[in-house]
Structure 1
Amino acid sequence: MTLSASAQAAGARSQMYALLAAVFRRPLDAGQIEGLRSPEMLAALAAAGIDPGEAFRDDDVDVLRDALAVDFTNIFHHPEGKIMPCEGLMLAHEDELHGRKTEEVERFLANVGYRVPPERGEMADHIAVELEFMADLARREAEAWEAGDEETARKAHDVQRDFLDRHLGRWAGIFALRVAMRAEAPFYAAFAQAVADFVADDIEAFAAEAREVD
């Protein structure tokens, strides 16, 4: 793969991870919904195998915004049976919010110079943070390829593989299953499955690269 192709591939991965992070950070506002419903974005979602549902494509934006906010609240904030989308709580019931797993992820992020803005109030192992971290790493990789800095690009590439192996790849599938069980409308179930599928594809791509090297 040429430097230009490598930069384009990393840039595309960064955009997808950033989109997935935005979907699961907080309920979408009207501007975000309109952006996702543009013909270009709907075509891109379809190409990625993501079907957000007929209502997402056709309903009034304000009506849709309110419906998605209700579904988001029922999935992640309902007092009974809510999903806490954090790695530690998904993988180990004995872990606590901001427990051992959160601290592990915090150290991983800090080791490569990434910091969660404190004003967000998000745990380091929250799904949106882990997805955004992958987006940031892929962006760094793309920029390094574009600058002809192969060493930096490969380091960013290797950190992504390591993070998927140690963290995000271990629970993306569980996250998707639990969201699907609680979601009332197709939107969040579809995007949660997109998280699982995209992460799985990334892991397989990294594994294929390793086999080629061997």
Structure 2
Amino acid sequence: MDEIIARSNIYALLSRILLQELDNDILETLKNDPTVLEFFPHWESWEQRKNLPNKEILEEYLNPDFTNLSILHLVPYETFYTRSDQMIETGGANPVTDIYSAYDFLVDYEVARVVSSDHIGIEFEFMHHLCEAQKKALSENDTEAVLELKKEQHRFLNIHLLRWAPMYLINMKYEARTPLYYDAAETALEFILSDNETLSAEV
């Protein structure tokens, strides 16, 4: 159970960082949670994190960097990487739509502020959703559901995230202007690769 809780929490944290600009609450977590800081070593040692007020960190550093990485310079959508015309599929033909529906996962576009459901932050959130379902099945001793959910996580990683997210995350790492987004890109890439290895051994 500890392992699935940890996996679920990492997917949730990375989803939040990759999906939209940070606010004061999540920044406080990123600044002060020792478990979180273990995943972000350059951010942990960054002097500005320790010395500047949150408002300045957000407005002068982190949110401009997010805008550069997610809106201006890079494209965090699966179909941009997988379609030959590099167009983002915003309609029902998007490759993740059916699988989201099958697992009762709804994308609130207004809250998420994304143009399509195959945004990297949404895909990480879906993995968190599957982990939470696995956690529930585990608590109910439903071994069949646990195995099926592991298989679905493995499938989703291989059919979707691993086909394109490494390219985006490598570009994000080298374009990042702040230690937080550098670390987030590196951690996300290492995590999905290692998580896939773990799931491959289990399913």
Structure 1 CA distance for aligned equivalents of residues 86 and 126 of structure 2: 22
How far off is 1:45 after superposition? 3.0
Q: What's the TM-score, normalizing by structure 1?
A: 0.84
Residue 15 of structure 2 corresponds to 21
Query: Mean Cα displacement is larger for which, 87-96 or 7-16?
Result: 87-96
1:72 equivalenced with 2:66 (yes/no): yes
Q: What's the TM-score, normalizing by structure 2?
A: 0.88
1:142 equivalenced with 2:152 (yes/no): no
Give the total of aligned pairs.
198
Structure 2 CA distance for aligned equivalents of residues 173 and 84 of structure 1: 13
Structure 2 CA distance for aligned equivalents of residues 159 and 191 of structure 1: 25
Give deviations 1:114-143, integer Å, cap 9, x for gaps: 221243343111001000000010011011
Quick one: which of 26, 31, 45 aligns to 2:37?
45
Quick one: which of 53, 57, 61 aligns to 1:60?
53
Residue 3 of structure 1 corresponds to none
How far off is 1:28 after superposition? 0.5
Residue 95 of structure 1 corresponds to 86
Unmatched 5+ stretches in structure 2: none
Map 1:87-166 → 2, pairs under 5 A: 87-92=78-83, 94-98=85-89, 103-120=94-111, 121-122=113-114, 123-166=116-159
Structure 2 CA distance for aligned equivalents of residues 71 and 86 of structure 1: 18
Structure 2 CA distance for aligned equivalents of residues 49 and 30 of structure 1: 18
1:182 equivalenced with 2:149 (yes/no): no
Structure 1 contact 45–51 (Cα < 8 Å) conserved:
no
Give deviations 1:40-91, integer Å, cap 9, x for gaps: x234431x4653251334432111111201111122222xxx1110011134
How far off is 1:102 after superposition? 6.3
Structure 2 contact 74–172 (Cα < 8 Å) conserved:
yes
Runs of at least 4 residues off by over 4 Å = 99-102
The structure-2 alpha-carbon separation of the partners of 1:58 and 1:208, relative to structure 1 and needing over 3 Å to count, comes to farther
Structure 1 contact 28–65 (Cα < 8 Å) conserved:
yes
Unmatched 5+ stretches in structure 1: 1-6
Structure 2 CA distance for aligned equivalents of residues 132 and 96 of structure 1: 23
Q: CA RMSD in A?
A: 2.1
Residue 76 of structure 2 corresponds to 85
Query: Mean Cα displacement is larger for which, 121-130 or 19-28?
Result: 121-130
Letter matched to residue 171 of structure 2 = R
Query: Mean Cα displacement is larger for which, 175-184 or 199-208?
Result: 175-184
Structure 2 CA distance for aligned equivalents of residues 35 and 109 of structure 1: 29
SS at match of 1:37: helix
1:204 equivalenced with 2:197 (yes/no): yes
